Amino acid sequence: MESIDKLYEAILKGNLPLAVEMTKIAIEEKIDPKSIIDNYMSKAMDEIGSRFENGKAFVPELLMSARAMKGALELLKPLLVDNNIPRAGTIVIGTVKGDLHDIGKNLVASMLEGSGFEVINLGVDISSEKFIASVVEHKANILCLSALLTTTMNYMKEVIRAIETAGVRDKVKIMIGGAPINSAFAKEIGADGYSSNANAAVSLAKQLLAS
Ligand code: B12
């Protein structure tokens, strides 16, 4: 269990080799991958984020932590896949225009993929035009929008309006998420749902398709 505490420290300090080594040990120790992500890796990212907010860490440190988290996450991704489930539907996901944060969005994408959804991950800094083109091309059942900045979260509203204008709003459910988002905001901009983490995103996606 010592490895898991060291994993938190490794991500907080942005030490990629140590994060990878500790993740390998945690996997060998059969610690639940979702618990590794939620209780250690994401918590380390929250801590570096609050240090940044308080002027105790700077962008290079955020980048180092992000690199360590991504490296560790790569090892866990295959373990998030449940092969015994049929395809559940098609999902287009991306981080909205102006926003480059992708760790949480990629985690949501991996969990959805692992739960049987076909996921088209468009990446970061995605315009409404690109979202619409992808939804139409792939006949997506759900569109997932991610934003981590209070300045970019408002672009989600633009995407939803553009989808309405394009005449495809009744064909696709829209889920939103990211640190500054909450359900009141989701309601306000006309999204179909919000969830605060990747596990809840899977339940929400299933729920939306059943409704
Ligand atoms: C790592 C990081 C960076 C990295 C990003 C690397 C990368 N490839 O993603 C870098 C260094 C590039 C970066 C840059 C900046 N960042 Co930054 N960053 C962070 C940090 C520390 C962690 C984010 C993270 O990865 N968290 C871990 C993941 C797992 O959590 P998550 O993203 O929240 O995702 C979960 C949920 O939100 C949800 N979710 C996410 N998306 C979706 C989508 C759907 C559909 C659903 C259902 C759920 C869902 O599920 C996820 C998994 O559980 C946060 C602090 C924080 N605590 O959020 C600041 C933070 C977001 N950044 C911040 C800032 C200010 C910036 C910069 C402006 C800094 C600068 N001066 O340059 C730039 C902006 C660049 C840009 N244009 O986007 C501020 C934002 C403040 C604000 N109010 O807007 C924060 C909050 C830090 C702070 N406390 O001040 N950042």
DSSP string, the chain: -HHHHHHHHHHHTT-HHHHHHHHHHHHHTT--HHHHIIIIIHHHHHHHHHHHHTTSS-HHHHHHHHHHHHHHHHHHGGGG--TTS---EEEEEEEBTT----HHHHHHHHHHHHTTEEEEE--SSB-HHHHHHHHHHHT-SEEEEE--STTTTTHHHHHHHHHHHTT-GGG-EEEEESTT--HHHHHHHT-SEE-SSHHHHHHHHHHHHH-
Q: Which residues line ligand 1 (CB under 6 A)?
A: 42, 45-46, 48-50, 52-53, 59, 62-63, 66, 98-105, 107-108, 144-146, 148-150, 175-180, 195-198, 201
pLDDT at 83 over 70: no
Which atom belonging to ligand 1 lies closest to the Cα atom of 70?
A: 8
Gap from CA of 154 to ligand 1 centroid (Å): 15
CATH topology classification for 2-80: 1.10.1240
Residue 170 — pLDDT band, cuts 50, 70, 90? Answer: very high
pTM flag (> 0.85): yes
The domain segmentation of the chain, as residue ranges, is 2-80, 89-210
Q: What percentage of the chain has pLDDT greater than the value 90? A: 77
CATH topology classification for 89-210: Rossmann fold (3.40.50)
Smallest CA separation from ligand 1 atom 26, residue: 45
Gap from CA of 191 to ligand 1 centroid (Å): 21
State the pLDDT at residue 145.
98
Gap from CA of 39 to ligand 1 centroid (Å): 17
State the pLDDT at residue 5.
87
User: Averaged over 43-58, what is the pLDDT?
Assistant: 91
> Is 131 or 37 the better-scoring residue by pLDDT?
131
